[in-house]
Amino acid sequence: MSSRVLALGTVATVAALATASAAFGAFSSTTIPGKSCGAYGYHAGYGYGYDCVDGPGAGGGTSTGNPSNNTTNNPINKDSALTPNVSHIIFPGFAKKCDQTLTNLNDSRLTAYYNDLKVIDRSNVNRALTRAEFLKLVLNAANVDVSNEADAKYADVPASHTLNKYIAYATRIGMVAGQNGNFRPDDKITRAEAAKVFTNAAGIGGAKTVNTFADVPATHSLAGYIQSAYDNCLLHGQNEGGKTLYKPELNITLAETGKVLYNVTHQK
C-alpha cells in the first residue's frame, strides 16, 4: 500500500455528509427531517445509509447513525470524531500510531500473522477479500469467540455458511448491516466499507470533517469513516496526477487487511 499523503481537497461538515440522489428519493447516512426513511442498510453505489422519500410519517424515523453532538472517549479524537455506532469496541486499547510497526506487505511477520487470523487460503495474499472473510479476520485479530453466537438472520447466509457466526456477531454489535434481509457475504468488500469496520472496531467512529481525498466527496455515505481511518493512520491514499486519491470502490486485499490488523494489535 502507498505511503501517507498530504491533506488537500474540500472541507465538509458532518451535516452535509452523504446526501445523494438514489433510485427512490434521497440517500443519506442519517435520517432526513421531513422525509420518511427506510431501514438502515447497504445500497449499491452509495454504501450504508437510508433511502428517504416524501410521504406519511416523514421525519418520524430515528437515526441509528452517529449523532453530530457526540464524541468518542478517545482523547486523541475527542474533537474530531463521532461516537462509533457499535455496542462493543473490539480493540478498546487502540491509540493513533503513525509510526507503524509493519510497513512492508512482504514482511515475514505478516506471513506468520496469518496463523493468528486463521487464514485458510494463502495462495495469493493480493486477492480481494469477501465481506464475510474480512469480518473473520477482524474478529480473529481481536480474539473474539463467536462459537456460541446464534446464527445470522440473513436470507443469503444459511446456517451451513462457514462464516455464519462471524457475520452474526458483527451484525449484533452494529459493526455491519444488511439490506432487504440479505448480507451478500461472498461479495468483495470495498476500501470504503473496510474503513467503516476498522474505525468502529477501534472505537474512533467517523470524522466530522472530510478534507483529504479528491475521490471521496462529502456526499459519499462513508466519507467520515474514510477520513477517520486516514487521520488515525489505519488506511492511506496515494498521489496520482496531482490529486490525492483513496479509491474507495476498489477492493481491499488479504495483505492490506493483515497489515492494518497487525499494526493495530502490535502497536509500538
pLDDT value for 134: 97
pLDDT value for 36: 64
pLDDT value for 129: 97
Whether the pLDDT of residue 33 is over 70: the answer is no
- Among 27-41, 94-108, 227-241, the range with the most confident prediction by mean pLDDT is 227-241
Whether the pLDDT of residue 204 is over 50: the answer is yes
Is 41 domain-assigned?
no
pLDDT band at 88 (very low <50, low <70, confident <90, very high): confident
Is 5 domain-assigned?
no
What is the percent of the chain with per-residue pLDDT over 90, rounded to a whole number?
55
Whether the pLDDT of residue 58 is over 90: the answer is no
The chain-wide mean pLDDT, for the chain, equals: 76
Nearest residue to 6 (alpha-carbon basis) of 181, 265, 236, 185:
236
Is 200 domain-assigned?
yes
How many independent structural domains does the chain possess?
Answer: 1
Is 251 domain-assigned?
yes
Is 15 domain-assigned?
no
Q: Quote the domain boundaries for residue 138.
A: 65-265
pLDDT band at 39 (very low <50, low <70, confident <90, very high): low
Nearest residue to 235 (alpha-carbon basis) of 98, 142, 51:
98
Whether the pLDDT of residue 80 is over 80: the answer is no
pLDDT value for 209: 86
What's the average model confidence in pLDDT over 87-109?
89
What's the average model confidence in pLDDT over 13-21?
31
Nearest residue to 30 (alpha-carbon basis) of 170, 221, 238:
221
What's the average model confidence in pLDDT over 110-117?
96
pLDDT band at 45 (very low <50, low <70, confident <90, very high): very low
In the chain, the amino acid numbered 162 is T
pLDDT band at 127 (very low <50, low <70, confident <90, very high): very high
b (16+ CB within 10 A) / e for 194-213: bbbbbbbbbbbbbbbbbbbb
CA separation for the pair 220, 180 (Å, rounded): 21
pLDDT value for 81: 46
What's the average model confidence in pLDDT over 17-42?
45
Is 144 domain-assigned?
yes
Q: Cβ neighbours of residue 64 under 8 Å, at least 6 residues apart?
A: 40, 85, 174
Q: Which helix (H) or strand (E) holds 140?
A: helix 131-141
pLDDT band at 148 (very low <50, low <70, confident <90, very high): very high
pLDDT band at 211 (very low <50, low <70, confident <90, very high): confident
pLDDT band at 166 (very low <50, low <70, confident <90, very high): very high
pLDDT value for 98: 85
As given in the structure block, the three cell numbers for residue 27 are: 440517500
Is 12 domain-assigned?
no
CA separation for the pair 65, 78 (Å, rounded): 18
pLDDT value for 96: 85
Is 39 domain-assigned?
no
CA separation for the pair 78, 62 (Å, rounded): 24
